[in-house]
Structure 1
Amino acid sequence: MTSKEPSTRNLLDSMIAGWKNSRMTRYGMFALLFVVLYVSLAPNLLPQRFDIQVGTVSDSDIIAPMQIPNNKTTLQAQEAAAEQVESVYAIVSMRRETVISQMLDRIESLNQDDQITNADKAQIYSEEIPQRAQNSIANFIRNNREAGKYSDKMLDEMQKTIGEQTYSIPEETFLKIPRLSTSEIQDMRQVATSIMSRLMSDQITDAQSARAKVAELVSTSSLSSRTAREVVQELVRATLTANKFYDEEATRAAKVEARENTPTVYIQQGEVLVPKGEKITQEMYTLLDENDLLKNDVNYWPQLGLVLFAFLITLGLYMYLRQSIHQGRTYNNAQLFMLIVIFAIGVICLHLVRILQMGNSPYFGFLVPAAIVVMLITLLLDIQLAYISSIIMSILASIILNMSQHELFDYQFGFFTLVVSFTAIQCIHRASQRSTILKAGIMSCFFGAIAVLTLVLLNDGEWTRISMMYAVGFACIGGLITTVLVLGLMPFFETTFGILSALKLVELSNPNHPLLRKLLIETPGTYHHSVMVGNLSEAAAEAIGADGLLCRVGSYYHDIGKTKRPGYFIENQNNIGNPHDSIDPKLSKSIIIAHARDGVEMQKEYKLPKPIRDIAEQHHGTTFLHYFYHKALKLAEEQEIEPDFTENDFRYPGPKAQTKEAAVVGIADSVEAAVRSLSKPTVEQVETMIEKIIKGRVDDNQFNECDLTMKELDVVARTLKEAVMGIFHSRIEYPEDIKKPDQKENKA
């Protein structure tokens, strides 16, 4: 049973590794991404079409697949708004006191002429005074028509109104005028112009109502002569005209403006257009036809356009991931599937907000947790991939949250998503604590609000103060929702996909973790060794572009299995004898190689992530235990028996290092132990020892199953040398120290 377990486990690991790196599976993942994009955009770019005819009965509820304008209801609302517009009147400024003053000048002049009889004068006045009043109006209209100050229709309306309201002076008044003296005429001038100016300062649409006030104003004037009062009264009435006239063109323009300002009436997405069992009317048929929702003509062009659109986005992401391989970044199929799941979550969030948006107002779109996708990708995958994903999500947001029937994209939501996403990436890409996610959410709120305010200022006049406040508020709420969702989804992705995020690694590096506490208390020597290996491996891993944090934390746990038999490992043998000196070398071998397996079992018990367990299991690979093998050979020789074992029996069971991180930890582990074994190491000894360790593992084919290159091994060797010198500075003798022993104490 025991012999079958490793083979079964290796087969299972091989199948999993094959799935993660299968090319066909990879293509299938991109096909799945294409489907996700197509399905998520289809409701917005390919609205549902109905196969109905006028007069038929609907066999199901016909529901609006999107927001569509109701042209008939909108037209009715526009006409109602136009009918509520009051008639527009124009105020025309006319100097009628000048006209009456000119009349009195003529009267004064003619009355002084003794050659003309009063009867003739009366006849002249009866002809000239009405004519002067009419001519003054005609001249005013002609001059303004030439100047273009008022429209022709307005001037025609003015001429018509004044003509209909003309006042006729009684004949007996003309008989009284010749008897007026010059002094009386002078008094009449002042009173007449004053009364005319006062009356014409009001807005007059009906001259007759204004003329009714003349008698009272004249009676309270300074004129004492009865004849003078009667003449002034009649002259003012004859000269007085309306000054407020109906403006047909202005009224028509006001009605047009009222129609234009009437908002379009929409049928919201999800509303029932025709209930089941109801007959299709011509009105409903026309509504669907106007919005291209009928299956009268089969049109496959939009479907083809959407296919090409989703294909181009998928192809762009594929090319980026392919190019990233040349830059040292690789993504397996499990990570690609996780990326698709993250995109799907982002799309679902967009559609949920779209539902709220349709039932309320466009600014509800800013409630979307826009940065959720890029935050998860930054934390779980890669920052460069997060930037590419932010562009894709901006495109999707501008389509899904677009409420315009005539535009494919709404740049406002695309811009908002891009700003929030870039902000979140910058705030979270060096996250070492989960509180960083909250800080990133707060910064997303702040910059999201700035983005919304920017859009409001650019669209001056289209936003009210209330809608602006709602939009900014929703942007802030969306940032907080993003934080909550990311914090909630992180454990799911870490557990389901075996992702070890930087946040999780930092948590595992806490010395208060039960396993690390156990390691420190029970095996302090191993604990110190693990910390040293962590420092060395982190520096080496970062030098070749591997995950330095994973190496450091993996190093902390890589020898946790030694806690089961701490006294059998040299770093824990303080002032006690070595128990291996008194036991069979085969038993010693079994105890030594068991620590890797025991460590994996202990880590499983505490549910440590698989990458950490892999380092513990693989850091020794299938290396050879030279010391115990030769000890066993010597013992067999002394007992003069034939050895019943081979070199393979004194090797670790493996597996060999599958990742760069496991390989680097294995090298650092050997280097730290080797340097610690030297009493007074020199620089030359350190260099030689590191090169020997790496060469030995290369010759033993320990790196054949990971993608560690010879060039990277040279970098690892150089980095480890520098790190060892920094850590063990006080113990390493430099060449000049050897030459000048008397200065050794000062050097240290």
Structure 2
Amino acid sequence: MNELVNKWYRNHALIYKLLLLLGTTFFIVYLFPKTGKFRYSFEKGKPWQSENLYAPFDFAIKKSKAQSDEEVKRITDNNELYFEVDLKIKTSAINRYLEEFNTIFEDSITGFENRLVLYNQGQKALEDIYKYGVLNSVYNYDENRQIILIENNKQKSKIQFKDLFAQTDIRPYLQGVLRQNNLQEYESDFVSLFFNIIEPNVGFNKSLTDKVLEERLSTISPTRGLVSEGTLIISKGQVVEDNQFNILDSLKSEYESQVWSSSNYNWVIMAYTLLVALALLMLLLFLRKYRSDVFLNNTKVTFIFFNIVVMVVLTTIVTNYNSQYLYVVPLCILPLVLKAFFDARLGLFAHVLTVLLLGFIVPNSYEYMFLQIIAGIVTILTVSELYKRANLFISVGQITLIYIIAYFAFFVIHEGQISNIKWETFGLFILGGLATLFVQPLIYIYEKLFGLVSDVSLLELSDTNTKLLKELSNKAPGTFHHSLNVANLAEASANEIGANAMLARVGALYHDIGKMKNPTFFTENQSTGINPHDELSSKESASVIIDHVINGIEIAKKNNLPDRVIDFIRTHHGTSMVYYFYKTELAVNEFAKEEDFSYPGPKPFSRETAILMMCDSVEAASKSLKSPTSTKINEFVENIINKQVEMGQFLNADITFKDIESIKRVLKLKLANIYHLRIEYPE
């Protein structure tokens, strides 16, 4: 039992990764749509590349969107309009007519004959106006549009819209009546009479009209025919015309609308699980082979898987809500984040795997995957220094432009024209680009949650006004000056070989903070001429010197410096010796042990930590140069670095001989500039 427990404990990291793989796989598969998947891809106007396709079952042919829209428009345009008539208003107007007429037109004024004609024509006009009714508002309908009048909740008659009187039609109509009877002189009073008594009595019944329209629209059939099982749909090499395209699209919709049945549910789940697990396994194998430091860190592996799951969840939510907004999801945040915390190659690899997984979820999967992979490549190639805000804005602009260009190309390929292009999609790409800017605060959140460090944090740490560096400059000013010089050398060397210059600079600034504990034991801080090593034995002196590494690690952890920076403190001397005190001890004790005078290590295990070891040794030893010349400097740099190579200090670092030669060249040039001779100015 104990042996089993010990075995589990020894392999707990591997077991955790296995559980993480399985948990992530099942969660992603759970998000996948529970419908069938059409296994053929096709495009209108392109040849059918697969074998002859026969109908696997009976299915209906869906109407195209254009056909459905045309039918809806036809029914909507021909739908009858319902107007409601208020008969009480008509009765009231007729009753008031006689009373108002007698008041305005008296015999003494108009004469009996004219008065009688006016009265009769007015009564006839009133009947004509209220024959169907007067509209209560302005309606912009075609004059020949058929309408139905409703009186007392019962259908009265079907008429044309032009048969109703608009309020603006009353004055011209009355003027025409008076003109026909040569009574124009009474126009003002006659028109005023009618405007006093006439009130609108016909109004549009929108609820009833909409209800009837809805009933008619509901009768529209979404299909226009049936394909029987075994019918040849399309032959290999045949061009996909409109008719075949509609049939194929109908068959595809039929597949995707079929929910997994209990008979094949388990098989489909197993198939999806295998594919997702295979993709995630490729990521773990990539980490194990090419990023072993990341693979061995369970927190970092969890962080990578977490980001992939977040992108899958966001895409699933948007797709289920409305796939039209699919490109608002800022998928390029994934490679940006992974590049910020790790490197570009890992970021692109994880991005491609994520896009492949999303191909199971999104519509038009080929188009989607092409766009997202191209955008991911552009993201990796354009964003070099994320801590510079201008770089991020420029990169987001380039990513958005790539989206727009690729989408435009796909649209032209599919449609063969640009007249009906959906310009609002370009706005969605812009929104997605703006959402990508959220990567800056997201990186800060991730740093706090997962204890990681990015170039943004490194930029903050490089500020010499930080509390720790100010303390170093106060307690050990010589060491602080030495660290600044090493930082400049390391940054230049890292830029020369394409390493992380910001990381190398920050590591150099903090690599000797352990000297704050006993600053006067280091020559650069001895300003009084008193050397405390004179009071100690060689072995004790070596112990004090070596301890500055351990002290530095303790101070760094106490001040919450990131592990990536602490690595520089731990490795900047590797397993080298405090050679001066070893030789001193050897002079009095021939049995002196080398391990008593050697740093505990480890050796540098990255290009940046290897750069620091070289720059630190060269800068510290350069103080001993007397009358430096170009030849002396070159030999000096060659000897120090060649000795480190011979001692195997760089065996664990991912650095080549070509890189080392480039670093030598930079150091020689920098030291030559530092120690250049000036002319002697006259007094």
Q: Same fold (TM over 0.5)?
A: yes
Question: Which of 272, 275, 295 does residue 332 from structure 1 map onto?
Answer: 295
Task: Give the C-alpha shift of residue 673 in structure 1.
Answer: 1.3
Residue of structure 1 equivalent to 2:388: 433
Deviations 1:84-109 (A, max 9, x none): 7869xxxxxxxxxxxxxxxxxxxxxx
Letter of the aligned partner of 1:483 in structure 2?
A: L
Q: CA deviation at 1:343?
A: 1.2
Counterparts of 2:286 and 2:278 in 1: how far apart (Å)? 12
1:107-256 equivalent positions in 2, closer than 5 A: none
Deviation at 1:376, TM superposition (A): 1.4
SS in 1 for 2:437: helix
TM-score, normalising length: structure 1: 0.53
Q: Give CA-to-partner distance per residue, 1:598-655, whole Å, 9 cap, x none.
A: 2222222221111111211221233322323444566xx5xxxx89974433333434
Q: Which of 430, 452, 460 matches 1:476? A: 430
- 1:366/1:570 CA distance change after superposition, 3 Å: same
SS at match of 2:338: helix
Q: Distance in 2 between matches of 1:80 and 1:500?
A: 58
Partner of 1:488: 441
Structure 2 distance, partners of 1:16, 1:627, is 44
Match of 2:32 among 21, 41, 44: 41
Matched, 1:525 2:478: yes
Residue in 1 that maps onto 2:376 = 421
Taking the aligned partners of 1:514 and 1:412, their CA distance within structure 2 comes to 52
SS of corresponding position for 1:510: coil
Report the counterpart of residue 553 of structure 1 in structure 2. 506
Determine the structure 2 residue equivalent to 1:678: 625
Aligned to 1:381: 342
Partner of 2:667: 724
Contact 1:445 1:475 in 2 (8 A): yes
2:259 paired residue among 283, 293, 299: 293
In structure 2, the CA distance between the partners of 1:291 and 1:347, relative to structure 1 (3 Å rule), is closer
**Aligned counterpart in structure 2 of residue 356 of structure 1, from 321, 327, 330:** 321
Q: How much has 1:656 moved relative to structure 2?
A: 3.7
- Is the Cα–Cα contact under 8 Å of residues 620 and 666 in structure 1 kept in the other structure? yes
2:616 match: 669
The residue number in structure 2 matching 1:274 is none
Structure 1 stretch displaced more, 419-428 or 38-47: 38-47
SS at match of 2:32: helix
Say whether residues 1:368 and 2:333 are aligned partners.
Answer: no
Contact 1:494–1:500 at 8 Å: present in 2 too?
yes
CA contact (8 A) 2:62 2:222 kept: no
Q: Work out the CA distance in 2 between the residues paired with 1:603 and 1:672.
A: 23
The alpha carbon displacement at 1:571 in A equals 1.8
- Post-superposition offset of 1:570: 1.5
Q: Which amino acid aligns with 2:384?
A: H
Which runs of 5 or more structure 1 residues have no equivalent in the other structure?
1-14, 48-68, 88-254, 264-286, 403-408, 738-742
**Matching residue's letter, 1:672:** E
AA in 2 matched with 1:577? I
Residue by residue over 1:56-80, the C-alpha shift from the partner in whole angstroms, topping out at 9 and shown as x without a partner, is xxxxxxxxxxxxx9999x9999998
Q: Is the Cα contact below 8 Å between 1:46 and 1:303 reproduced in 2?
A: no
Name the amino acid aligned to 1:610. D
- 1:377 aligned partner, one-letter code: L
Residue identity matched to 1:722: R
Q: CA deviation at 1:363?
A: 1.9
Q: Does residue 611 in structure 1 map to residue 611 in structure 2? A: no
SS at match of 1:580: helix
Structure 1 position 559, deviation (Å): 0.8
TM-aligned CA distance change 1:556 to 1:372, over 3 Å:
same
Residue 428 of structure 2 aligns with an amino acid whose one-letter code is F
Letter in 2 for 1:425: I
- The one-letter code matched in structure 2 to 1:557 is Y
In the TM superposition, residue 529 of structure 1 has moved relative to its aligned partner by 1.7
Question: 8 Å contact 1:520–1:527 — kept in the other structure?
Answer: yes
- Alpha-carbon distance change, 703 to 717 in structure 1, aligned in 2, over 3 angstroms: closer
Task: Tell me if structure 2 keeps the 8 A contact 1:42–1:306.
Answer: no
- Shift of the 625–438 alpha-carbon distance from structure 1 to 2, 3 Å rule, reads same
Name the aligned partner's letter for residue 349 of structure 1.
Answer: L
Name the aligned partner's letter for residue 721 of structure 1.
Answer: K
Q: Deviations over 1:482-507 (max 9, x none)?
A: 322x2233134445555433333223
Q: After superposition, what is the alpha-carbon deviation per residue over 1:174-215, rounded to whole angstroms, capped at 9, x for unaligned?
A: xxxxxxxxxxxxxxxxxxxxxxxxxxxxxxxxxxxxxxxxxx
Shift in Å at residue 372 of structure 1?
Answer: 1.8
Q: One-letter code of the match for 2:32? A: L
In 2, Cα distance between the equivalents of 1:692 and 1:416? 53
Q: For 1:547 and 1:296, how far apart are their aligned partners in 2?
A: 54
Quote how far apart the aligned CAs of 1:262 are. Answer: 9.2
1:422-453 CA-to-partner distances (Å, cap 9, x unmatched) read: 44334423323356445544554555455556
3-state secondary structure, aligned to 1:500: coil
Summarize the Cα distance change of 1:520–1:401 in structure 2 as closer, same or farther, 3 Å threshold. same
Listed as ranges, the gaps of 5+ residues in structure 2 are 1-7, 39-59, 80-215, 225-252
Query: What is the aligned partner in structure 2 of residue 509 from structure 1?
Result: 462
What amino acid is aligned across from residue 665 of structure 2 in structure 1? E
CA deviation profile, 1:211-260 (whole Å, cap 9, x unmatched): xxxxxxxxxxxxxxxxxxxxxxxxxxxxxxxxxxxxxxxxxxxx99x968
Query: 1: CA distance between counterparts of 2:256 and 2:353?
Result: 32
Distance 1:44 1:392 in 2: 22
Residues 428, 648 of structure 1: CA spacing in aligned structure 2 closer, same or farther, 3 A cutoff?
same
CA contact (8 A) 1:539 1:548 kept: yes
Identity of aligned residues (%): 27
Q: Assess, with a 3 A threshold, how the Cα gap between structure 1 residues 528 and 316 changes in structure 2: closer, same or farther.
A: same
- The CA distance in 1 between the partners of 2:400 and 2:572, in whole Å, is 45
Name the counterpart of 1:601: 554
Distance change (3 Å), C-alpha of 1:680 and 1:43:
farther
Q: Which residue of structure 2 aligns with residue 219 of structure 1?
A: none
SS in 2 for 1:677: coil
Secondary structure, counterpart of 1:601 in structure 2: helix
TM-score for both structures, normalised by structure 2: 0.58
2:395 & 2:31 partners in 1: Cα distance?
27
Write the letter of the residue equivalent to 1:507. Answer: E
Match of residue 238 from structure 1 = none
Q: Is the 8 A contact 2:335 2:350 kept in 1?
A: yes
* Native 8 Å contact 1:543 1:715 kept in 2: no
Distance 1:45 1:510 in 2: 57
Pair 646,85 (structure 1): closer, same or farther in 2 beyond 3 Å: closer
Q: Give the distance between the partners of 1:614 and 1:570, measured in 2 at CA.
A: 24
The residue identity in structure 2 corresponding to 1:608 is L
The total of aligned residue pairs comes to 485
Where 1:512 maps in the other structure, the secondary structure is: coil
* Matches of 1:667 and 1:499, distance apart in 2: 26
What secondary structure sits across from 2:599 in the alignment?
coil
Q: Cα offset for 1:555?
A: 0.8
Structure whose alpha-carbon radius of gyration is higher: 1
Letter in 1 for 2:622: V
Q: CA deviation at 1:700?
A: 4.9
Q: 1:709-720 maps to which residues of 2 (within 5 A)?
A: 712=656, 714-715=657-658, 717-720=660-663
State the Cα distance separating 1:692 from its structure 2 match.
3.8
Report if aligned partners of 2:26, 2:273 keep a CA contact under 8 Å in 1: no
Match of 2:576 in 1: 623
